[in-house]
Amino acid sequence: MGRQYFGTDGIRGTVGQAPITPDFVLRLAHAVGQVLKRQEARPTVLIGKDTRISGYMLESALESGFNSAGVDVVLLGPLPTPGVAYLTRALRASLGVVISASHNPFADNGIKFFSASGTKLPDAWEIAVEAALEQAPVWVESAQLGKSRRLDDAAGRYIEFCKSSFGNDLTLKGVKIVVDAAHGAAYQIAPKVFHELGAEVIAIGCAPDGLNINQGVGATHPAALVQAVKEHAADFGVALDGDADRLQLVDADGRLYNGDELLYLMADERLQRGENVAGVVGTLMTNMAVEVALKARGVQFVRARVGDRYVLEELEKNGWTLGGEGSGHLLVLDKHTTGDGLISALQVLQACVRTGQSMAQRLAHIHMFPQTLINVRLAPGQDWKSNAAMAQACQAVEQELAASGRVLIRASGTEPLLRVMVEAQDAAQAQSGAKRIADTLQA
């Protein structure tokens, strides 16, 4: 049986349209409860959410569905996705549930799950849940119904966890930071984390109204952060997305650093401190400059498919700790089991504070390769894989680039588009190569 509802990161869609409706979410929770009870007589589930107005409705539906299956529920309120993962592990719960559509607009929402150890669940578990959805519900008797309670100090516990990832011998005193929480799940938490470590904090994107999550602010709209850093003459700007698992950082000059640069900076800091960094995981889209720089220092580099779950799979397979995507999903597995925007930001700030260097100074020796990405719209039924002209063009460009660049052809998973990407040390060469390949598809 395949997966009908689960995507690469839980179940997501537009609220009020299948499957993000209260009746389905109730059935989903009941089915999940049935699966949990195969291993445990009385499971306990944690539920956290971001700030979308639909979170109240979906939270109630989840709570009813779990209770009806004899599962106890602990409500965490608004909490970042990685905060739910942490508390699931810390409180020895059976499962963690997050109500969020991450960086999507407020009209969307979704449900994702974490195992008892705070990690993403395997495909086999999702398939078992979908199979349970096809079966008739099994309502427990009144005496066996699950109970619900609220954990009032969930945010405080997570704040302390984030702070514990920052060096005990270090402080952010004298550092001015603009913090943008995207009007999302970290709107109360993020400013407190940096403030309690000593920083002067200017908060933007920290006034949610249920409808403004990710709207013109946050990691997916960093222009607001850049402007605020310049206006306040801040040393750093930190932007998170709606559920705070994605990060963008800005320096005092207003320069934006993407996930590839931050990933390298974290690896570099560990190497400078004499730590062993056996390997780092990026994705097919990670800038080649990161790979070249790491290999020059004896660090293995592996590319996973695009998506943080695939980066995590490669890290676990190799027993490594550092990985991430250019979008700002970064994994530091010796600090947390999942991607965490706040903890990733603290690792970067720690590197800068420890040496007294800015991000620009820390990254002065690495120069990102220019990338040209062209999206080619495919005609219905167009078979690009057997296009001989495209194959010849790709081969020719690859030969010209040799070891100083690369070609990546990738079909979109959501649209009839073929993404043609050429990366080279010379911007003109990257642009020319990508256009030559794309032209063979449009002829």
Rounded CA-CA distance 95/110 in Å is 16
3-state secondary structure 359-427: HHHHCCCCCCCCEEEEEEECCCCCCHHHCHHHHHHHHHHHHHHHHHEEEEEEECCCCCEEEEEEEECCH
- Kindly give, in sequence order, each residue whose CB lies less than 8 Å from that of residue 407, ignoring residues fewer than 6 positions away: 394, 397, 398, 401, 421, 422, 423, 433, 437
3-class secondary structure, 48: strand
Based on the residue annotation, tell me whether 148 is a catalytic residue of this protein: no
Per annotation, catalytic residue among 94, 102, 115, 327: 102
What angle separates helix 154-164 from helix 341-355, to the nearest 10 degrees? 40
Two tokens at 317? 């397979």
DSSP 8-state class, residue 18: T
Rounded CA-CA distance 260/368 in Å is 9
Taking the CB of residue 183, how many other CB atoms lie within 10 A of it? 27
Taking the CB of residue 334, how many other CB atoms lie within 10 A of it? 10
Place of tokens 């698992």: 245
3-state secondary structure 293-358: HHHHCCCEEEEECCCHHHHHHHHHHHCCCEEECCCCCEEECCCCCCCCHHHHHHHHHHHHHHHCCC
Catalytic residue positions? 102
